[in-house]
Each structure stands twice: as structure tokens, then as C-alpha cells.
Amino acid sequence: MIDVHYWPTPNGWKVTIMLEECGLPYNIVPVDIGGGDQFTPEFLRLSPNNRMPAIVDHEPLGGGEPLALFESGAILEYLAEKTGQFLPTEPAAKYSVLQWVHWQMANLGPMMGNANHFKNYAKNIIDDPRQLDYGTKRFVGEVSRLSGVMDAQLAVHPYLAGAEYSIADIITWPWAFLIGRMLDESMWDEFPSLKRWVDEVGERPAVVTGRRVGRELGKRELTEAEEKARRELLFNQTNEKVRAAREAAARANA
Ligand SMILES: N[C@@H](CCC(=O)N[C@@H](CS)C(=O)NCC(=O)O)C(=O)O
């Protein structure tokens, strides 16, 4: 059995979609990131970067003790190797998939996270909205550029890494399908091949099911005070602020 330390967000969906695609049984362990579960000693032992998703595989590839992993890219690569699915073994094909996996992890995910932050969240935090202009322009501009990169690739290939559906698609779709919703629905007009792929992948049964996992978890209405505490927790994580949790975890896990 695989434990998935999870909250229903794009990075979490990558793992549930992959597990559904592979037909592997799994058990969801909720990590309420707005409530601070990512700072508990138990979670920091699995994921020292205080970010979900993380997994624990109790019957790991290669045998032995349960294997804990954080970072969605590493998790998908591991599950692909474990099941022999969605990552070819022939070197040229394998690395053509992995270059897109790394592209998502280093580009689309972080840029969309920041674009969403500046465009949708930051106005609730700062007093002068003009302070948001530069950050919004910079990150929305990057998402537009990255959408063009995907669109050009998908204009000549059915899937991101070529002819076959792979972990490159599984890792990218949970961010890509939100581009219009997070930024601007009219963006799709500029990227028809990307839109074709978003719609097609979105119809796969494993994608539909994986994205629904834990839907109810994030649904509770928060009070204004809870919302404020959540913003402080998620958007103000200097070393000074998280050091205490890390040190407490180190003591508890020693
Ligand atoms: N590169 C990481 C990013 C994970 C990530 O940013 N997770 C967010 C939720 S989508 C999180 O756990 N945030 C908790 C926090 O900011 O403290 C991955 O792909 O696994």
C-alpha cells in the first residue's frame, strides 16, 4: 500500500492521477496546508521542504524498509519505474519524457504559482495594489511564454514528449488546465493545440478520478480570522519563521 500525504491542489493531483493511471492502491493522509500540518514533526520527516505531496511506499521497489519520497517529479518517476508504465526504458525516449518532467517542475509549476499569487491572492495581503503590477506582469508574462512553448510542441505531437502519453503529460496537466481559470479564459484562443491536449487528457478516466480525490477536504468555509492566519502561514515563510518547526521536528525525530 502507498500512503499519499496530500491536499487537493495541482501538485497533489499529479500523484493521485498517476496512481489512478497505474491502478495502484493508495491511502490518503490529509495534510491541511492552510492549517499548518506541513510543519508537524511527522510530516517534516517525510518532506523537509514543508511541502506536500509526499508518499510512503510500504512495499517499495527493490524491497526493504518503507520508502518515503517528496517532490512530485521524483514521486512520478518512482511510480513509473515501479510499475513500468508511462516512462519508456529506451534511453532516447526516456530522456525525452524526463526533459518535459523537469521543464514542468522548474518552469510551469513555479511560474503559475507566482502568477496566481500576484494576480489573485496578493491583493488580500497588501494595502497598495499598485505594488502588484510588476510581479503580475512578470509572472503572467512567463505563463504566457510557457503556454506558447507547450502549444508549439503540441501542434506537432499528440503529447508533450511525442507520440505517447507519459508522466510528462500527467505532471503538466494539473497546472495547464488551470491556465485560463487562474489568469484569463481568453488565453485559450492563443493556444489551440494546448487547449486540444488539455481537453483530451482531461477526459481520461484516471484524470477525472484523480482530480476528484479529497475534493471535500478543501471545501470548509473559513472565518476571516482563519483566512488571515492561513495567509500568514502560507505566504510569509522566512527561515526565521519556519526554523522553530524544523528544530522541533529534528528533536522529535532524533
Ligand atoms: N516542487 C514541489 C512543490 C510542492 C508545493 O508547492 N506544494 C504546496 C501545495 S501545492 C504546499 O505544500 N504548500 C505548503 C506551504 O506553502 O507551506 C512538488 O512539486 O512537489
Phi/psi for 3 (5° steps) reads: -85, 130
Lowest-confidence region among 59-68, 86-95, 222-231 = 222-231
pLDDT band at 253 (very low <50, low <70, confident <90, very high): confident
- The pLDDT of residue 3: 98
Residue 37 near residue 44, CB atoms below 8 Å: no
Residue 40 vs residues 48, 105, 149, 249: alpha-carbon distances, Å: 10, 25, 39, 7
Number of domains forming the structure of the chain: 2
pLDDT band at 254 (very low <50, low <70, confident <90, very high): confident
- The pLDDT of residue 141: 95
Angle 87-90-96 from CA coordinates, rounded to 5°: 60
- The pLDDT of residue 233: 83
- The pLDDT of residue 143: 96
Q: How would DSSP label each residue in 187-244?
A: GGGG-HHHHHHHHHHHTSHHHHHHHHTTGGGGGPPPPHHHHHHHHHHHH---HHHHHH
Residues 75 and 97 in one domain: no
Q: Of all atoms in ligand 1, which is nearest to the CA of residue 51?
A: 12
Residues 195 and 101 in one domain: yes
Residues 148 and 47 in one domain: no
Distance between CA atoms of residues 88 and 78, nearest Å: 13
Q: What are the pLDDT digits (tens) for 102-122?
A: 999 999 999 999 999 999 888
- Where in the sequence is the domain holding 55, given as residue range(s)? 2-85+210-228+237-253
| CATH code for the domain in which residue 221 is found | 3.40.30.10
pLDDT band at 154 (very low <50, low <70, confident <90, very high): very high
Q: Which residues contact ligand 1 via a Cβ below 6 A?
A: 9, 11, 33, 38, 50-53, 71-72, 105, 109, 234
- The pLDDT of residue 155: 98
Residues 199 and 95 in one domain: yes
Grid coordinates belonging to 88: 519508456
Residue 32 near residue 18, CB atoms below 8 Å: no
Residues 217 and 114 in one domain: no
Q: Of all atoms in ligand 1, which is nearest to the CA of residue 11?
A: 10
- The pLDDT of residue 250: 86
Averaged pLDDT score across all residues of the chain? 94
Residue 128 DSSP code: -
Nearest CA to ligand 1 atom 16: 234
Residues 24 and 77 in one domain: yes
Q: What are the pLDDT digits (tens) for 158-209?
A: 999 999 999 999 999 999 999 998 878 998 999 999 999 999 999 999 999 9
Does the pTM surpass 0.85? The reply is yes
**What number of other Cβ atoms are within 10 A of residue 36's Cβ?**
16
Q: What are the pLDDT digits (tens) for 66-112?
A: 999 999 999 999 999 999 999 999 999 999 999 999 999 999 999 99
Nearest CA to ligand 1 atom 11: 51
Residues 78 and 128 in one domain: no
